[in-house]
Chains A and B, each alone.
Chain A
Amino acid sequence: MLRGATRIIDWPMEGLQRLIGERRMPYVFLLPNLAFFGVFVFVPISINFLYSVTGGPALFPAERPFVGAGQYAYLFDCGSFVDPSSCREDHFWRGVSNTLRFTAFQVVAMVLLSLLTAIVLNMKIRGRGFFRAVYFFPVLLSPVVVALIWKWILQRDGLLNAGITGLGGDKILFLSEPGWAMFWIIFVSVWAHMGFYTLILLAGLQAIPADIYEAAEMDATPRWRVFWRLTLPLLWPNLIVVIVLALIRAVQTFDEVFVLTGGGPGTSTLMVVQYIYETAFSNQVQNFGLAAAASVVLGIVLFALTLAQLAFSQRKSS
């Protein structure tokens, strides 16, 4: 019965193979995915690039005047790239600067805390299953829900200030002071996503053969040396995945920060993606061309990060 059914599929495939040759057959199997990917990824990327070389308020590309690299020139018109206020489009560069700061602190905190948590959760401790669930639970929440929960905690009359005033302290405007606002968006982001990265590292830890540790124990190797010489190298492929995924996600950060601080106070938590969104849709003049140019720049950065990850992991495995 099953053989009969597979023959039904085999027959046209065999015919096709005879027609186009064996070497071309893999492309036939790739075609559906490639078509899907093309329509929903390559075509939008191409349209986005097209917008980035046009100007004006019109929506349809055919109605938009060609401006060449004008949008890119406007974006990069800076006295000094380390001083956003010297740039013509200072909001973009403030977004870049904030995103870099956010990424640096968030990724380091995320990786270290995820690693620590994964190591603890890999030990034979009481209630291990419960703690694994607890750490993973925030991952299941929508970013908007996460941001709203923390907004209620952090606002003037929120839970945290209630605790502070209960202890005799003064209320702190956590979301209206630039330093505090940046701290809290990093904290909330780590809290919300740590469970996912912990899970990846936990899977990596569990894949390390136990006999290696037994051999180390027999040799009376100190714990820190076991971690440094055995655990870390064997966990390296998973760590690379975690670092790159965390990096890409940090650069793309938008929803949580947008709901929690709206990019403020001032522009102290304005991220690049929020800048793109506001330039294209939220501002009165919906500047699709400039937003598209900024998103092309962001796309190139993300592409470079992905290539770096590939190169790094290949070099390590070789």
Chain B
Amino acid sequence: MKGTKMLLGCALLAASLVVSNAQAQTTLRMTWYSDGNEGEVMSDLLRRFEEQNKDIKVVLDQVPFKAINENLPVQLAAGQGPDLARVADLGGVARYMLDLRPLLKDPAYFETNFGPFLEWMRLPGDKTSIPGFMTQLTLTGPLVNKTLFEQANIAMPGPKATWEEWAKAAKDVATKVQAPFPVAIDRSGHRFFSLAITQGAKVFDDKGEPAVVDDGFKRGAQLVYDWHKNGVMSKELWGSVAGTAYRGANDEFKNAQVVMYVSGSWQIGQFDKTIGNGFDWVAVPTPCGPANCSPMPGGAALVAIKTTQHPKEVARLVEYLASEKVVGEFYDRSLFVPGHLGLAKQGLTYKDASQQGKAALKVFSEGVSTLSPVANKLQGYVHNRVIFNAVISRLGQAIAGEASLDEAYKRITADIEQQIAERTKK
């Protein structure tokens, strides 16, 4: 009897110790989306972090990209957000981000290595906050099915070729090999501007206010419009859905139905894995226009959220994940262009990538040096998604035959004015 009581006492003590230990552990929730394998890589890194920091547990909530753009902002506005989130619309959710600067051991490290990109995460007038770090820097650009060019016995245009030259070559190839999509451009305002800026679009006036529809913009819009009319682009992307819906051509490219796919560096990981030896594909530099050959920069960042109850633990996690060795491993294994200046300078080995994956990453990385100031400014503009969405919605209508290009231009200007006014209403 006495022994039983003793045993019971020990069990209770052990249980209370376990409970108190569990209570001491802080749980952080991280909302995350993936284009390729980066979710798996992040899980790996978090497991290592937890081993080194027994007092912190991180729950990785993996959601679709659509949920990051549509549901997360509502959650954040309601004060019900996670502790950290991986976001792409940096300016759009900047007001919900937590400034980690006072909590970081070495803020200078962040300034030195993520400096230019931190500006994308800041509200106008804010010059100092450090809400997180870039999980990837992206650049738009074309991915070309080289095998189709070889089958058609047509030479690929050179590095300084224009959009028109590429369009003609892609159309010739598609006609010869009967591919349904000579050129496919993601139905995304961000992607459209990679074309418009090369045509001379300035996007902003001298005061820095949006003045989107100018001659350069019109040249870009006219090209996209004409390409839909003459069969260079199929209506299935830009003309098939309404409003601001994104539509990519990943599946069509993977199935060798697209000759030239204008998308971006974030596709490399999944194409490298899924296309395999199916056909040869290459990334080529952004085609040139009368103004320049600039791609559009972009990217995603892991940021701390203002409503977190555990800011110190969040800062510790961000410090760990943003440290050169860890973030370097993350970029390397995820096949991402580094959003870390030090690593970008050193270069990454991308040891898991195939030769064509490595070559494509090299082409996109080199694109950083050709970025136009307009492209950088547009990416850093807090209401850039308002501009992107107005453009795809109205240009989509023109392509579908519901409006003329001139009507679309008027609507784009009106939509941008109205939405920015609504967004800034107090």
Question: Which of chain A's residues have a CB closer than 8 A to the CB of B423?
Answer: 57, 285
Most B CB contacts (10 A, CB to CB) among A55, A176, A282, A284 go to A284
Q: Which residue of B lies closest to A57 (CB)?
A: B423
Question: Which of chain B's residues have a CB closer than 8 A to the CB of A90?
Answer: 411
Q: Which residue of B lies closest to A55 (CB)?
A: B425
Q: Are A284's CB and B89's CB within 8 A? A: yes
A55 vs B78: C-alpha distance when bound (angstroms): 16
Question: Which of chain A's residues have a CB closer than 8 A to the CB of B78?
Answer: 59-60
A127 to chain B, nearest CB (A): 40
Question: Which of chain B's residues have a CB closer than 8 A to the CB of A58?
Answer: 77
A278 vs B70: C-alpha distance when bound (angstroms): 9
Q: Is B240 an interface residue (CB 8 A)?
A: yes
What is the interface size of chain B, counting residues whose CB is below 8 A from a CB of the partner? Answer: 41
Question: Which of chain B's residues have a CB closer than 8 A to the CB of A156?
Answer: 180, 236
Please judge, given known A-B contacts A57-B423, A284-B389, whether A274 and B242 are in contact too, CB under 8 Å. Answer: yes
Q: Are A264's CB and B425's CB within 8 A? A: no
Q: Is A80 an interface residue (CB 8 A)?
A: no
Q: Are A264's CB and B240's CB within 8 A? A: yes
Question: Which of chain A's residues have a CB closer than 8 A to the CB of B374?
Answer: none
Q: Are B244's CB and A284's CB within 8 A? A: yes
Q: Are A85's CB and B407's CB within 8 A? A: yes
A67 vs B135: C-alpha distance when bound (angstroms): 41
A234 vs B239: C-alpha distance when bound (angstroms): 48
Question: Which of chain B's residues have a CB closer than 8 A to the CB of A176?
Answer: 234-236, 239-240
Most B CB contacts (10 A, CB to CB) among A65, A266, A281, A290 go to A266
Q: Is A306 an interface residue (CB 8 A)?
A: no
Question: Which of chain B's residues have a CB closer than 8 A to the CB of A177?
Answer: 235
Q: Is A262 an interface residue (CB 8 A)?
A: yes
Q: Is B92 an interface residue (CB 8 A)?
A: yes
A65 vs B426: C-alpha distance when bound (angstroms): 6
Q: Which of B16-24, B38-46, B143-151, B397-405 contacts A (4 or more CB under 8 A)?
A: B397-405
Chain B, 90-112, CB within 8 A of any chain A CB:
92
A173 vs B240: C-alpha distance when bound (angstroms): 10
Q: Are B244's CB and A264's CB within 8 A? A: no
Q: Are B400's CB and A178's CB within 8 A? A: yes
A-B interface, 10 closest residue pairs, ranked by CB to CB distance from nearest: A266-B400, A263-B242, A262-B241, A59-B77, A284-B385, A56-B425, A264-B241, A266-B402, A265-B400, A285-B419
* A-B residue pairs in contact (CB < 8 Å), sample of 18: A156-B236, A173-B235, A262-B240, A262-B241, A262-B245, A262-B247, A264-B239, A264-B240, A264-B241, A264-B396, A265-B240, A267-B402, A268-B242, A274-B242, A278-B243, A282-B243, A283-B244, A285-B422
